Amino acid sequence: MSVTAQISTVHGAPPLIYTLTLSTSRIQEVNSPGVTMTLNVSNTVSGSFYGFSWNVTDPSGSIRSFVYYVAANGPFLTLAVVYPRDFSGALVKYNGTYRINIFQTYPNPTALVATGRFYTGLTDSLSYQRTAQVFILAQGYASNENITMRILHAGIPASGFPISQLADGNGVFSYLWPIPVSTPLGDINVSLSGQVTVKKPPDSQIFTILPTSVSISQLVANLTLLQGSRIAAFSFAAVYPDGSQAKTGTTTIRVLEPDGITIHLVSMTYNTTVNAFEGTYRIASSDPSGGWAAIIDANSFDDVYGNVGPSTGVVRGFVVEPAASQNPQTSTVTYLLLMIVVLLAVALTFLVSWVLFFARKKVQRSVLKVDLQSIEREAARVQNRDFFGKVRDQLKQRQQAKPEEGAKDG
């Protein structure tokens, strides 16, 4: 912030030019580091004396002054004064506007040469994204005074407010409020009132709440076989800037077929068991094989409070292999088989529940069983793939080429 003024002081001499610059336009209710007010004066006469009086009027109407006399040693003069440090008895204990008037008191006549203003508030910013932390700071209360803090949106208290907290031994009140993701957007009023101290003007200020962003770093895709159908299961975690996870909202992801054109939409909902958003797509036997992709589009996720993300799209590719040929079976046989599977599953559930219930007080021992034959079968399936054959053949060719190269080198 800067203010300039021009005043002629000596007949025939060029006019003095004044420029006031402030280190900041807004501070919290705290004395240090304060506001540095720098007055630059041009066209001064070397060896001449100049006198200035800084007058600062605080929001309560109280005026504090600082007088500065100095001799110029050239055509420029720079004077820096800090409020409240250099002003006797001054404190930054009211929120509102602090007005600055600078008078040149010498040489005569006294004249107002520069003005300015800065603001004092309770919070460390005037706008915040949800999940950010609001730092509230105020002083001028009695030592260990009980302070009530209110945070209101449209006259309705924010969740958990009002609260009461003691000022410290110096009468300073401070509070850190992490803004919940569901806090209403828009203007919020924060106010403080002491049990003993009555401030005029009272500690009260408005700040703005903005939506926050949600980041999704990765989309996981797993292909599984369920009752003969291939299922593509997708999951992702949505994270707020403070590192906490989003647990509300829904989104729809796009599942793209290998042609890059055909799209399927999959709704993703939060699963509290796995702490992630999940959704599935059943791959029909008629669906094409090849490289598929699942996409979370930019800003397609909304946590129901208006916090959206991710800022850029997230993609996960996955390969769908051709459907294995299945033995034709009549619907009756399939139904019977299904019934048997269901009955077995129910019986197994009872058995497992019974075992778990009676074994609870005993040492629990998990058993990790791996079917080596299944592993060999799956490995054989991989090894039968054309690409594996290519890799193996190329490796063999290289190994054969190496001795020949060695012989040539030798």
Partner 1 sequence: MDMDLEGPGLHVIFGLDPYELPFTLNDVLVNGAQPERAALRMNDRLHLERGEIYFSPASVKVEDILKSLRSGFELDSFSNAINTLAEKFSLDYLLVDTHPGLEDDTLLAMGVCDNLLVVSRLDQQDMFGTGVLAEVARTLEKPTHLVLNMIPLALNSSEVSKIASKIGANFKIQVLGWLPFSEDIVSSLSKSVFILTNPRHSMTARFNEFARRLESLDEVN
Nearer to partner 1, 111 or 233 (CB): 233
Per CB under 8 A, does 379 bind partner 1? yes
Per CB under 8 A, does 154 bind partner 1? no
Among 109, 169, 243, 410, binds partner 1 (CB under 8 A): 243
Among 200, 361, 369, 408, binds partner 1 (CB under 8 A): 369
Which three-class secondary structure state does DSSP give residue 149?
strand
Nearer to partner 1, 196 or 380 (CB): 380
- Give CA–CA dist 142/134, Å, rounded: 23
Burial readout 73-108 (b: 16 or more C-beta within 10 A, e: otherwise): eeeebebebbbbebbeebebbbbeebebbbbbbeee
Per CB under 8 A, does 368 bind partner 1? yes
Nearer to partner 1, 146 or 280 (CB): 280
How many of the other CB atoms lie within 10 Å of CB of 125?
Answer: 13
Residues 83, 88, 93, 95: is their CA dihedral positive or negative?
negative
Q: Specify whether the CB–CB gap between 183 and 158 falls below 8 A.
A: yes
Among 163, 343, 359, 391, binds partner 1 (CB under 8 A): 391
How many of the other CB atoms lie within 10 Å of CB of 157?
Answer: 12
Per CB under 8 A, does 133 bind partner 1? no
To partner 1, the closest distance from the beta carbon of 316 in angstroms equals 4
Angle between helices 372-383 and 386-409 (to 10 degrees): 70
Nearer to partner 1, 327 or 373 (CB): 373
Nearer to partner 1, 17 or 239 (CB): 239
Per CB under 8 A, does 258 bind partner 1? yes
Among 200, 327, 371, 410, binds partner 1 (CB under 8 A): 371
Per CB under 8 A, does 387 bind partner 1? yes
Among 290, 340, 350, 401, binds partner 1 (CB under 8 A): 290
Burial readout 319-342 (b: 16 or more C-beta within 10 A, e: otherwise): ebeeeeeeeeeeeeeeeeeeeeee
To partner 1, the closest distance from the beta carbon of 291 in angstroms equals 3
Residues 380, 385, 388, 393: is their CA dihedral positive or negative?
positive
| The two structure tokens encoding residue 3 | 């203010």
Number of H helices, E strands in the chain: 3, 26
Interface pattern 191-230 for partner 1 (x via CB under 8 A): --------------------------xxxxx---------
Among 198, 382, 400, 408, binds partner 1 (CB under 8 A): 382
**List of residues contacting partner 1 (CB under 8 A):** 217-221, 239, 243, 256, 258, 260, 290-291, 293, 295, 312-319, 368-372, 374-376, 378-379, 382-383, 385, 387-388, 390-392, 394-395
